[in-house]
Amino acid sequence: MISRTLRSIGYKTKSDSVSISSLIESEKTKSSDNTRNFHIENQDTLSTMSTEKTDKPYNKTKNYLEMLVPPEKPQKDMLLGKAQPSQRDLLMVSVAPGFANRDGLLMHRDAYDAFLKMHQAAQQEGISLTIISAYRSFDHQKRIWENKWNGQQVLSGNIRATDIADPEERASEILRFSSMPGTSRHHWGTDIDINSLNNSYFLSGRGKKEYDWLKENAHKYGFCQPYTQRSDRNNTGYEEEKWHWSYLPVASVYLETYKDSVDYEALKGFQGWQTAKALSVIENYVMGINKECL
């Protein structure tokens, strides 16, 4: 079971600090005392963070990633953003006030736990990380997609999708920055948008410091930027998104499972769905990510 799960995780970091053997060791030595006690751990971390006490700071010398246990393979509905709330609530937790720009955001509990640790480390270096988007359901993504498809929401460059007659061209234009329902990594709760939805924000001043910090440090907490410059990704998939970070120890398992279990039959129920197959959205967009995030 362990080796199967580890094979499916295919996990590596920039520093290669997580080896298969260390994951096996952590699985062997895992007991009831560590990574599955999320609520307790989160509350502990939260109370530490919200009161800014330093009596129990995150121990930077301990490699957080070595403590991880690979997640179970997700159900197909979870991958598509269609999980029932009862099923979803087993995996997701609410982002506490102070870490997001609004109430009500949900995240996969493992990703949230890692984010809290990253947030604290960043804060100690004067870097502020605020989550501005996290989990999104299929229906939420459908609203975003259809608002663009119908021209109610203008696209990047002040274009309206309704000005583009050809359905595939219209979908392609929306796909520069937005996912089709059922194909977003935000469905998994593993992916978050941080601080701004404009690449230009991250090019200078405070935004540049934040982005530079993330590029240098996010991998230590398991986070990776899936949408780097398109030229680094065979010019496939979405445009660069400097704000979008993915928690790999879970997301890489989800992506593997997605590849095995989701096909174009599952991508229906929204306007323009007929273009999904013609545009190969699974191959080009879901899979068309930064290779370091695979």
Nearest distance in Å: CB 197, Zn ion: 8
Which residue's CB atom is positioned nearest to Zn ion? 244
Pick the stretch among 72-80, 109-117, 185-193, 275-283 that binds Zn ion (CB under 5 A). 185-193
Site for Zn ion in 222-251 (CB under 5 A): 244
Nearer to Zn ion by Cβ, of 64 and 238: the residue is 238
- Give the span between the Cα atoms of 241 and 198, in whole angstroms: 8
Does 136 sit near Zn ion (CB under 5 A)?
A: no
Binding mask 31-70 for Zn ion (x = CB under 5 A): ----------------------------------------
How many CA atoms lie within 13 Å of 121's alpha carbon, on the beta-carbon side? 20
Nearer to Zn ion by Cβ, of 193 and 240: the residue is 193
Q: What are phi and psi of 132, to 5 degrees?
A: -110, -10
Nearest distance in Å: CB 184, Zn ion: 8
Question: Contact at 8 Å (CB) between 91 and 78?
Answer: yes
Per the listing, tokens 């978050």 go with 192
Question: Contact at 8 Å (CB) between 254 and 74?
Answer: yes
Query: What six digits make up the tokens of 21?
Result: 């053997």
- For β-strands 191-194 and 244-247, DSSP reports them as antiparallel
- Give the span between the Cα atoms of 47 and 265, in whole angstroms: 45
Pick the stretch among 50-58, 71-79, 164-172, 191-199 that binds Zn ion (CB under 5 A). 191-199
**Which residue in 113, 173, 193, 210 binds Zn ion (CB under 5 A)?**
193
Quickly list H helices, 109-242: 109-124, 138-149, 167-174, 205-217
- Give the span between the Cα atoms of 208 and 134, in whole angstroms: 22
Nearer to Zn ion by Cβ, of 18 and 129: the residue is 129
Nearer to Zn ion by Cβ, of 45 and 179: the residue is 179
Nearest distance in Å: CB 134, Zn ion: 9
Binding interface with Zn ion (CB under 5 A): 193, 244
